[in-house]
Amino acid sequence: MSTLDAYEQEVSYQVEDIPMLMQEMKSRWLSKEEQLNTLITGSGDSFAAVMLAERLSGFRIQCIDPFELLSMIASRRILYIVSVSGSTRAVLDAMDRAHRHGMKVVAITANAESKLARGADSTILIRFKRTGMLTAGSIGFTASLVASASLAVNMDDVSVDVKDVFSKASDDAGGIVLAEHNYIVGDVLTYPLAVYGSAKLYEVLGARASYCRLEQFCHMEVFSLKEGDKVLILSSEEKARMLADGLRSNGIDATLLEYCNNEDRCNGRYEDETLSRLLYYTFLLQITVLNNAKRLGLRECAFVNHRLLGLSSSLIY
């Protein structure tokens, strides 16, 4: 099995495993007071996941880069650390610093035997199928997203048809052709997914990508756009529609990706719609990258043969 085949397989596992994980994450919800006493951190894909927890909590839970943890320790009492492997150096250092300052540490990890799980005060185990091969992160990210979200959103009250969301994402990803340089633009909720989507472009395609905030893109990155660039906009906001229309009228290839608008899908409960939207964009980005890798005839994810993989690993682990 190639690393790209493994990536595709793990993307497909999500249809069955994510609903089961959502059930397992029930009753993890923190009260508003508890959220105000909580920090959350992670590295790489996990950092994008914990940024979503921050947003879903109304910014009561505070997300922080593990490398920057020290400056925030005094104001919070509990630190959640999200790491699928439980072995990245930055999160282990963050755990040690937190313990030295009397903070309680809760690990969210897929590896019950990891240094993180063994060293934390308690552990939330995230279970999902994997191929066992080194490949770009997909189901691990989505599992981390769900586990992190369960701290901010009461999963007991959430109902999401994951199969339906995955099917819509797969259909919508079918016509998206990426470019040599891509911009992924997110709004207040979806910006972390712009970060995650860019990571998949780097890892799988070895393509250039920029992750951007909607408002700031209009001030900054818009002036770097060139003919042939691709802009993906993850939003249903009116400003996003105006941006997409304006870019297209000026000859820029822009695709507005809306999970729903007020006229069709978004007629249910806010919590259901919000989590559905996040899963939709996650699946769409994963499948878009996969489709484009196949279109290019790739067999392996770009990062596995990259000359700087050794350097990256030495800095992470």
pLDDT tens digits, one per residue of 210-232: 999 999 999 999 999 999 999 99
Q: 263 pLDDT exceeds 50?
A: no
Question: Which pLDDT value is given to residue 277?
Answer: 94
Token code pair at residue 237: 């906001």
Domain count, the chain: 2
Query: Are 270 and 238 members of one domain?
Result: yes
Of the candidates 127, 157, 187, which is a domain's last residue?
A: 157
Query: Are 66 and 170 members of one domain?
Result: no
Name the residue among 45, 43, 41, 42 with its Cα closest to residue 7.
45
Q: Residue 241: inside a domain, yes or no? A: yes
Q: 235 pLDDT exceeds 90?
A: yes
Q: Residue 300: inside a domain, yes or no? A: no
What percentage of the chain carries pLDDT values higher than 70? Answer: 94
Domain that holds residue 56: 3-157
Query: Are 90 and 189 members of one domain?
Result: no
Q: Residue 315: inside a domain, yes or no? A: no
Question: Which pLDDT value is given to residue 229?
Answer: 97
Give me the CATH number covering residue 123.
3.40.50.10490
Query: Are 150 and 11 members of one domain?
Result: yes
**pLDDT, tens digit, for every residue of 11-26?**
999 999 999 999 999 9
Q: Read off the pLDDT of each residue in 292-311 and give the average, rounded to a whole number.
A: 95
Q: Read off the pLDDT of each residue in 58-87 and give the average, rounded to a whole number.
A: 85
Q: Residue 280: inside a domain, yes or no? A: yes
Q: Residue 313: inside a domain, yes or no? A: no
